[in-house]
């Protein structure tokens, strides 16, 4: 039966690919950490999804399967996520929309955006330089009122635990990019890195529309919420954006809001005011614990995703899964004929490997007493993605291999200090960190 459905679906896809006539162009806007290129870290090349390819690549493949073509009627609005949403909208998104209009001949585009990409999209759509060129604005998992997770990053300079974040993949991305930025720019702490090179994090803080979200416990163990207006750090960007939310309707932009639920998501945060730091950390109180709700996707609460006016759709899924879950709804919204969509290449599980060192890395799989190479210095299989940042830093993501016996081998090619950090989708961690490692020393370990 499944093979018959797939065959019928492929026939339908072929008919759609051959369909004549232009399609209104799509501009896709990824979320935080969804863009990489020389503008962010020199030496990383032209714009691409970076290590977030595993999140966004399959969705783009779906669009291509139903007949869209990159740089013809499908455009990716990559941007420097270190900068504020307002800067990203004006410098990167606007130019991508202009390119899409010029190449397609259409005066308006459809925007599909994920997470912070939705805030970048709103920043343009509600701006005074908007050019009346958006037909559909689709916001997937966008924190329109902010996210409590950002409190940990911006106020305290810490990455919450897997349990607090609600997603091991999201935590791996946050941990990984903080590590890359620290190594690349020579900062000493996560706090320094965030305040200097991740200023966009402040745009993700809960806004006035989110409501009071941090509290202390009094002597009677009752909650006492801290007034938003009295907080040291407020989200001026979202407060201004939400104050003028009506502009979207006035400009006849059709808005679709897609949110996820069913996964524990930070909603409120308990703090200790007495534990404020003297070095500008935790000015509103050190985070002690959080109140969670399953009315969210593990990162963004539904009340935040649905904080502005628009049509609403809810799916059970984690933040990084929502695009996979809602693709048919998105296509239907844009008038694309429903079809069987090949659900291929979506990531079921992963192993994240970060390497600081110049040595040789190889990854092998033992399958029924046969050794298969997954990655070495010259070749890799499709389920292995690698990003290099200069000569010493590499980040390797191995997808869909946790059920197999996978081994990592590292050979030092000179006397050096090395650091290897391994984590997987089950939350397991391994670390090798040694100084003055002699040339030709080899490390071997099982990583799944």
260-316 residue pLDDT tens: 999 999 999 999 988 666 667 899 999 999 999 999 999 999 999 999 999 999 999
pLDDT of residue 378: 86
22/62 same-domain check? yes
What is the pTM (predicted TM-score) of this model? Answer: 0.91
The DSSP H or E segment spanning 197 is helix 190-197
13/125 same-domain check? yes
386/244 same-domain check? no
**Complete DSSP assignment for 388-433:** EETTTEEEEEEES-TTSEEEEEEE-SSSEEEEEEEEETT--EEEEE
387/422 same-domain check? yes
324/354 same-domain check? no
pLDDT of residue 1: 47
Identify the domain boundary among 299, 333, 367.
333
d(CA 71, CA 141): 25
Number of domains forming the structure of the chain: 2
Identify the domain boundary among 279, 308, 333.
333
Q: What is the pLDDT along the chain (448 residues), one digit of tens a residue?
A: 444 444 444 444 444 444 445 789 999 999 999 999 999 998 899 999 999 998 999 999 999 988 999 999 999 999 999 999 999 999 999 999 999 999 999 999 999 999 999 999 999 999 999 999 999 999 999 999 999 999 999 999 988 765 555 567 888 888 999 999 999 999 998 999 999 999 999 999 999 999 999 999 999 999 999 999 999 999 999 999 999 999 999 999 999 999 999 999 999 999 998 866 666 789 999 999 999 999 999 999 999 999 999 999 999 999 999 998 999 899 888 887 655 555 555 677 899 999 999 999 999 988 777 888 999 888 888 889 999 998 899 999 998 887 788 999 999 999 999 999 999 888 888 999 999 999 999 999 888 8
d(CA 387, CA 379): 14
In a domain, 69, yes or no: yes
Q: Does residue 313 contact residue 327 with C-beta atoms inside 8 Å?
A: no
For 310, the token pair is 């628009």
d(CA 448, CA 445): 9
Alpha carbon 125 to its chain's center: 21
Domain residues for 256?
2-147+235-333
389/299 same-domain check? no
pLDDT of residue 400: 82
For 244, the token pair is 């003028």
d(CA 368, CA 52): 31
128/263 same-domain check? yes
In a domain, 394, yes or no: yes
Q: Does residue 35 contact residue 116 with C-beta atoms inside 8 Å?
A: no
pLDDT of residue 15: 46
In a domain, 89, yes or no: yes
Identify the domain boundary among 272, 299, 333.
333
CATH at 68:
3.40.50.1820
For 78, the token pair is 């990559």
Alpha carbon distances (Å) from 72 to 27, 58, 107: 11, 19, 14
In a domain, 230, yes or no: no
For 439, the token pair is 């040339």
d(CA 24, CA 6): 27
In a domain, 115, yes or no: yes
Of 326, 318, 324, residue with least CA distance to 294:
318
In a domain, 101, yes or no: yes
pLDDT of residue 300: 97
In a domain, 439, yes or no: yes
pLDDT of residue 338: 53
111/260 same-domain check? yes
pLDDT of residue 13: 46
28/138 same-domain check? yes
111/30 same-domain check? yes
d(CA 122, CA 242): 10
268/402 same-domain check? no
247/285 same-domain check? yes
In a domain, 197, yes or no: no
């Amino acid at each position: 039966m499944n093979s018959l459905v797939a065959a019928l679906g492929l026939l339908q896809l072929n008919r759609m690919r051959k369909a004549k006539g232009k399609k209104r162009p799509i501009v896709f806007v990824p979320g935080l950490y969804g863009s990489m290129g020389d503008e962010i870290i020199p030496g990383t090349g032209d714009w691409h999804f970076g290590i977030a390819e595993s999140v966004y690549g399959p969705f783009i493949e779906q669009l291509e399967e139903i007949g869209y073509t990159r740089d013809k009627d499908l455009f990716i609005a990559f941007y420097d996520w270190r900068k504020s949403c307002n800067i990203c909208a004006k410098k990167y998104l606007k130019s991508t929309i202009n390119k899409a209009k010029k190449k397609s001949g259409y005066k308006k585009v459809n925007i599909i955006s994920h997470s912070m990409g939705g805030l970048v999209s709103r920043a343009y759509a509600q701006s005074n330089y908007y050019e009346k060129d958006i037909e559909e604005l689709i916001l997937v998992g966008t924190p329109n009122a902010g996210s409590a997770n950002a409190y940990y990053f911006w106020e305290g300079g810490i990455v919450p635990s897997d349990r607090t974040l609600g997603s091991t993949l999201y935590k791996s991305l946050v941990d990984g990019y903080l590590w890359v930025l620290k190594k690349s720019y020579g900062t000493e702490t996560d706090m320094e890195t965030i305040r200097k090179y991740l200023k966009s994090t402040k745009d993700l803080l809960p806004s006035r529309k989110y409501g009071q979200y941090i509290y202390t416990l009094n002597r009677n163990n009752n909650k006492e919420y801290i007034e938003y207006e009295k907080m040291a750090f407020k989200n001026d960007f979202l407060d201004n954006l939400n104050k003028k939310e009506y502009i979207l309707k006035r400009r006849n932009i059709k808005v679709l809001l897609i949110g996820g639920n069913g996964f524990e998501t930070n909603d409120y945060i308990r703090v200790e005011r007495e534990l404020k730091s003297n070095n500008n950390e935790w000015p509103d109180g050190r985070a002690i614990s959080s109140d969670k709700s399953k009315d969210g996707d593990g990162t963004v609460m539904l009340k935040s995703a649905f904080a502005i006016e628009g049509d609403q759709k809810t799916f059970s899924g984690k933040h990084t899964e929502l695009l996979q879950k809602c693709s048919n709804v998105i296509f239907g919204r844009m008038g694309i004929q429903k079809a069987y969509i090949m659900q291929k290449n979506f990531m079921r599980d992963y192993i994240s490997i970060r390497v600081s060192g110049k040595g040789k890395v190889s990854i092998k799989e033992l399958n029924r007493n046969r050794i298969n190479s997954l990655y070495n210095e010259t070749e890799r299989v499709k389920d292995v993605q690698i990003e290099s940042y200069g000569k010493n830093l590499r980040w390797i993501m191995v997808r869909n291999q946790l059920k197999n016996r996978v081994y990592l081998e590292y050979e030092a090619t000179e006397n050096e200090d090395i650091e290897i950090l391994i984590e997987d989708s089950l939350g397991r961690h391994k670390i090798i960190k040694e100084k003055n490692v002699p040339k030709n020393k080899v490390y071997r370990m099982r990583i799944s």
